Copies of this chain bind each other. A is one copy, B any other.
Amino acid sequence: MIGKPLASIVSAGLSKFGKIEGLYARELFALAAKEAFERCPNIDPKKDVQALFIGHMGESYEHQGHTGATVADWAGLLHIPATRTECACASSGAALRAGIMAIMSGLYDIVMVGGVEKMTHRSTPEVTEFLAMASDFPFEQWHGITFPGLYALMATAHMHKYGTTEEQLAMVAVKNHHNGCLNPKAHMQREVTLEKALSSRVIAWPLKLYDCSLITDGASCLILTKPEIAKKYTDMPVHIIGSGQASDSIGIYEREQFTSLTAAKEAAKQAYKMAGLTPNDIQVAEVHDCFTIAEIIAYEDLGFCKPGEGGKLIEEGVTTLDGSLPVNTSGGLKAKGHPVGATGTAQAYEIYLQLTGQAEKRQVENVEIGLTHNVGGSGATATVHIYRRG
């Protein structure tokens, strides 16, 4: 039986993703909040929003921590309780989950959750270093490995064990770049051919430039309410019916294998159980494609196919926009961009648009059930959420 709503999304906002010059993170977040408020005029920011949870990964980018209070003020929410959550690139997946628990606790009727990151004003080596803080200091960072290298280890393990090919990895990029072209808020709105992706320069073999997601500025947010009052604010709520989160060792050296993420499988299991659904019920999904191999592993961890068959799934076109299970209709981290703290709730934003028929050129027809999959670091955190059209 389909699960009871835990909380309901009554509105959502997203800043333009890309290289946004001249704005602080707090200002980017205010843009996302402004869209959410404009989309739902029945909510008065000054008195209705009772708490804020904000995913923000790195204080180093802007030399600015204490993000909760900062963005609350800039979003017109001065004085409400405002807490930053940090689980690396799953920071706003964790914010979403904290917001759901805040609603379920009975303490609040309406909360905002979201995420933000301002990254592009920093050099690539700086960003690479800041991101690496989400990996293990003594046994990973210290020895010089960064995230492309860690995901390359997973890719080679997957290729070795299952025969996954570089072409299959590149197909993920081709698909997501295509979807990004249909999303006016995507960072990169440009098609890429299989040949171009395959011939791009190697970052950490087998991962090439087009296998890597983008360094992006952006912010995202959702307004959550108790399910029983959602219709007071919108005719088109989206109910969250499953929420899972799990952790794993920070360093991948501690893990038994590199070809799947235990935390993601565990989070998915929790979310499916709560929702009373199976992978077959999912009609549209946003998954954490920080690298192309991550999307292929996500297919398997989420049960969209059997372990080892992720490469075949992309090759058969199942996950393209006109396939039977479109994945990353937004363009994903690969083309929409990956402002790390903002990604989790940006994925939820896309599913909100899809389930309410607001996804315009990339709208999937007749979708009622969606899923988001948000991963922190090399899989030490994962959150999975399942959504139903209200």
Contacts and interface: CB of A to CB of B under 8 A. Distances in A.
Identical chains in the assembly: 2
A384 to B, nearest CB: 11
Contacts of A136: 64, 70
A371 interface: no
A263 interface: yes
Contact of A87 (B84, B94, B263, B377): B84
Contacts of A65: 57-58, 86, 88, 133-134
Which of A56, A85, A101, A106: most chain B Cβ within 10 A? A101
A102 interface: yes
Given A249-B69, A381-B68, A85 B85 contact: yes
Contacts of A277: none
Nearest to A95: B83
A86 B66 contact: yes
Interface stretch (A71-79, A165-173, A198-206): A71-79
Nearest to A98: B98
Interface string A355-390: 000000000000000000000110011000000000
A263 B66 CA distance: 14
A88 B66 contact: yes
A63 B98 contact: no
A31 to B, nearest CB: 18
Given A65-B133, A104-B105, A81 B247 contact: yes
B133 A250 contact: no
Interface string A43-74: 00000000100001111101111111110110
B137 A64 contact: yes
A284 to B, nearest CB: 25
A105 B4 CA distance: 14
A116 interface: no
Given A60-B60, A80-B246, A83-B85, A254 B104 contact: no
A155 interface: no
Contacts of A56: 86
B133 A63 contact: yes
A96 to B, nearest CB: 11
A381 B66 contact: yes
A297 to B, nearest CB: 18
Contact of A59 (B58, B83, B138): B58
A300 interface: no
Interface string A255-279: 0000000110011000000000000
A354 interface: no
Contact of A247 (B24, B72, B94, B250): B72
Interface string A136-153: 111001000000000000
B246 A79 contact: yes
B78 A247 contact: yes
Given A58-B65, A83-B87, A73 B137 contact: no
Contact of A66 (B67, B106, B267, B376): B376
A73 B254 contact: yes
A7 to B, nearest CB: 10
Contacts of A133: 59, 63-66
A58 B105 CA distance: 29
Contacts of A254: 73
Given A79-B248, A133-B65, A380 B86 contact: no
A107 interface: yes
Given A78-B248, A84-B86, A98-B98, 5 more contacts: A64-B137, A66-B380, A69-B377, A81-B247, A83-B381
Query: Which are the 5 A-B pairs with shortest beta-carbon distances?
Result: A81-B245, A104-B105, A69-B380, A69-B247, A101-B105
